[in-house]
Amino acid sequence: MNTVDDLIKINLDIKKDIRGDLLPIEFQKNLNINIQRSFFVFGKDNSVRGNHAHKKCNQFLCCISGICEINCDDGINKNKNILKDPSTILKIPNMIWSSQKYKAKNTILLVLCDLVYSEEDYIREYKKFIEYKKIHLKK
């Protein structure tokens, strides 16, 4: 079962030249993932989103504009990461409760997922998340 120690920050290489910067993401090479879904979240200043965990889905978060505070919780330990540079991606493995606080106006978060959307994969109540983890830790 995943813990906050399993969060991974992945730093990408920015290619720079006189024309500007290019930030490539090779999903297999850089993230070791087969992306099935991606979406952008346009957060309002000081709004909080997320507040859920996934049973199976792994997510990769990249703040492409602004500043986003990512709070993660494994039911025992907590972890906070600040994303503000698009060359840094945070991997949040399944069974980690997370929320995102949008700390600046015009913050945009890119989320990459290894599974397609399925409401059954979500745990949207923290109490149920803790219960689910306890049940599955015994197995």
What would the pLDDT profile of 58-91 be if each residue is shown by its tens digit?
999 999 999 999 999 999 999 999 999 999 999 9
| Contact residues for 79 (Cβ-Cβ < 8 A; gap 6+) | 4, 7, 71, 72, 73
What would the pLDDT profile of 108-130 be if each residue is shown by its tens digit?
999 999 999 999 999 999 999 99
Domains contained in the chain, CATH given: 4-137 (2.60.120.10)
pTM: 0.90
